[in-house]
Amino acid sequence: MARETQTSRAEMPDATAKGSGRNSRVVGGGASSATARRGDSCAGTERMMEAVVERKNMVSAYRRVVRNRGSAGVDGMSVEELKPYLQEHWAQIREELLAGRYDPQPVRRVEIPKPGGKGMRRLGIPTVVDRLIQQAVHQVMSPLFDPCFSDSSYGFRPGRSAQQAVLMAREYVAEGKRWVVDIDLEKFFDQVNHDLLMSRVARKVRDKRVLGLIRRYLRSGIMEGGLVSQSVKGTPQGGPLSPLLSNIILDDLDKELDRRGHAYCRYADDSNIYVGSKRAGERVMKSISRFLEGRLRLKVNREKSAVDRPWKRAFLGFSMTWHKRPRLKVAPCSVMRFKSNLKEAFRRGKGRNLHRFIEELKPVLQGWINYYRLSEVKAAF
């Protein structure tokens, strides 16, 4: 239920105010020394909540939430209803955040088919108000953590993309590392240990109000079938803060791989390590699986993980040829999945206006082609 607190409109984040207040980092360029020092010393993070609710930051968060749209949460409030709600209630919400007593609402459970139709992916949709607050927290925390993340981490980071990860993977294979340790984490977002995660967040965040808010988001519960169940582990996919939290917990894996001198690419929970022989790959698979399960309490999916040739595996929808200088191509499983999606669209389009159907299909085709634009083998297109 939406909070029914009577407040002034003076504190409402105005969607028309200027300035985004969002920092970004370009891949290949280092973070400023001042930013890096802030990340190491935690300077200023004792009063981080003041930065979270600062007007410029909230306006930027509001714009991002409105732009991303998305489904309503458990309270049924749409993105279009967010501004009038904030005009009436923002001052009270702000006061609760600053006092450290804001209580998030449960997330709404949604299940979508996994790629290939094997099983369902479980998402947790926060209310639009909670999405706004999570986005505001993300914008303040990201510049603190991101400069310290590994250069081999590409997922959910400003200025980085899946295509960059794929290009780096190809470079490793071209250098002679022609075996890949493909590690799949089983239900990663559902298995994250809350205490481990919060201990890593607390390395850089000193504001107990922010730490308490993040923990309450982790434990806010999940509504499914009208019943709310308590969350004892996991960080539900669907909220703006979840990607950053996933990078924070998996940064320990990156640091371990960097310490061992491995060549690897990680995009969220999708990690590929490139080695020179099958024997080396099997040794790495065994030791890294032990590290993930022992140190981070995450479960490696043995059925989906493998030590194999890169051209026999898919990474972020791409594969590559076996040549000394490999050429990128769309992975066969990605082609089959897209064809299946198109067939379903064609079935739904029977009897409809042809021009309107083509207009709806065009952005789907263009989006797929744009994502795979790096492919040097054009047969699939």
Least confident of 174-178, 300-304, 330-334, 350-354: 350-354
What pLDDT was estimated at residue 51?
96
Task: Count CB atoms within 10 A of the CB of residue 14.
Answer: 14
Give the model confidence (pLDDT) of 45-55 as tens digits.
789 999 999 99
- Category of 223 on φ-ψ map: left (φ > 0), alpha (ψ -120 to 50) or beta: beta
Contacts with 39 (C-beta within 8 Å, 6 or more apart), sequence order: 31, 144, 145, 147, 148, 204
**Most confident option among 5-9, 68-72, 141-145:** 141-145
Per-residue pLDDT, 88: 95
Tokens at residue 253, please? 């894996």
pLDDT of residue 70: 86
Which tens digit of pLDDT belongs to each residue from 132-162?
A: 999 999 999 999 999 999 999 999 999 999 9
pLDDT digits (tens, 9 = 90+) for 246-286: 999 999 999 999 999 999 999 999 999 999 999 999 999 99
The predicted model scores a pTM of 0.82
Tell me what pLDDT residue 116 has.
56
Cα–Cα distance measured from residue 95 to residue 74, given in angstroms and rounded to the nearest whole number: 23
Q: Which amino acid is at 362?
A: K
Tokens 């993977």 sit at which residue? 169
Residue in the structure block whose two tokens are 């790495």: 284
Using CA atoms, how far apart are residues 268 and 244, in angstroms rounded to an integer? 9
Closest C-alpha among 62, 225, 83, 161 to residue 372: 161
Average pLDDT over residues 68-93: 93
Report pLDDT for 117.
56
C-alpha–C-alpha distance, residues 38 and 353, integer Å: 58
User: Which residue type does 247 have?
Assistant: N
Helix H or strand E segment including 2: none
pLDDT band of residue 236 (cuts 50, 70, 90) is confident
pLDDT at 44: 57
Residues 80-111 as b or e (16 or more Cβ within 10 Å = b): eebeebbbbbbbbbbeebeeeebebbbbbbbe
Place of tokens 């449960």: 106
Confidence of residue 299 (pLDDT cuts 50, 70, 90): very high
Q: What is the pLDDT at residue 226?
A: 67
Give me the chain's average pLDDT, please: 86
Query: What would the two tokens of residue 173 be?
Result: 């294979």
CA-to-CA dists, residue 260 to 72, 157, 278, 306, angstroms? 45, 24, 18, 20
C-beta separation of 222 from 109 below 8 A:
yes
Among 9-23, 90-104, 202-216, which stretch is predicted with the lowest mean pLDDT?
Answer: 9-23
- Rounded to the nearest 10 degrees, the angle between the axes of helix 128-145 and helix 208-218 is 130
Given CA atoms 69, 70, 72, 74 in this order, what sign does their dihedral have? negative
What pLDDT sits at residue 352?
A: 87
Interhelix angle 332-349/354-371, rounded to 10 degrees, is 170
Share of the chain above pLDDT 70, in %: 85
Q: Mean pLDDT over residues 273-301, rounded? A: 96
Mean pLDDT across 29-38: 37
Lowest mean pLDDT among 196-210, 216-230, 234-248, 313-327: 216-230
pLDDT in tens, 199-218: 999 999 999 999 999 999 99
Note the pLDDT tens digit of each residue in 342-363: 998 899 888 889 899 999 999 9
Q: Which of 43-52, 219-228, 297-306 has the lowest mean pLDDT?
A: 219-228
Q: Which of 183, 173, 162, 115 is nearest to 318 (CA)?
A: 162
Strand partners, 183: 271
